Amino acid sequence: MLITCPYCGPRDVIEFTYQGDGNRERPQPASQDLDAWNAYVYDRLNPAGDHNEIWQHSGGCRAHLRVVRNTITHEILSTAFARGGHKSADNRAEGRS
């Protein structure tokens, strides 16, 4: 599996660390909204198909990336710096930074 880092170019997956579901919406640290925290910790789309994910190029430039990966084929549909704008699989997370 190859992931194309926006900085380093195509690299083997062994250079990357998975950092979880990219659809999660982290509540403000001071938030006491238990439903929001519950959703952040437990709710996952778990799609059979395109999935928003956060990866870190830990064995390379160490940038955090937004990656859209197909969970059935492992095809990488897009990669972008997590800091900037990004393409999402289902538009749910569009516009977040």
Partner 1 sequence: MAEPHLPERQSPLEPEYHPGSHGNFEHGVDVILSETRPGSILQLAAWPGEEKRLIEVIRKVTGLALPDGAGGGVNSGARAVFGFAPGKFTVVDEAEGLAQAFAGSITPAIGTLTDLSHGRTAIRIAGPKAEWVMAKFFAIDFALPAFPLGAGRSTNHHDIFAQIQRSGADQFDIYVFRSFARSFWKALCHASEEVGYEVQ
Contact positions vs partner 1 (CB under 8 A): 6-9, 11-12, 14-15, 59-63, 81, 83
The footprint of Zn ion on this chain (CB under 5 A) covers a number of residues equal to: 6
The tokens for 1 are 């599996």
CA 11 from centroid of its chain's CA atoms? 17
Q: Which does 15 bind (CB under 5 to 8 A by kind): Zn ion, partner 1, none?
A: partner 1
Q: Which of 27, 47, 59, 60 binds Zn ion (CB under 5 A)?
A: 60
- What whole-number distance in Å separates Cα of residue 69 and Cα of residue 72? 9
Q: Which does 50 bind (CB under 5 to 8 A by kind): partner 1, Zn ion, none?
A: none
Q: Are 76 and 4 in contact (CB under 8 A)?
A: yes
4, HSE (Cβ side, Cα atoms, 13 Å): 8
Taking the complex as a whole, how short is the minimal distance between the CB of residue 62 and partner 1, in angstroms? 6
Q: Which stretch binds Zn ion (CB under 5 A): 26-34, 43-51, 59-67, 80-88?
A: 59-67
Q: Are 93 and 82 in contact (CB under 8 A)?
A: no
- Residue numbers at the binding site for Zn ion (CB under 5 A): 5, 7-8, 57, 60-61
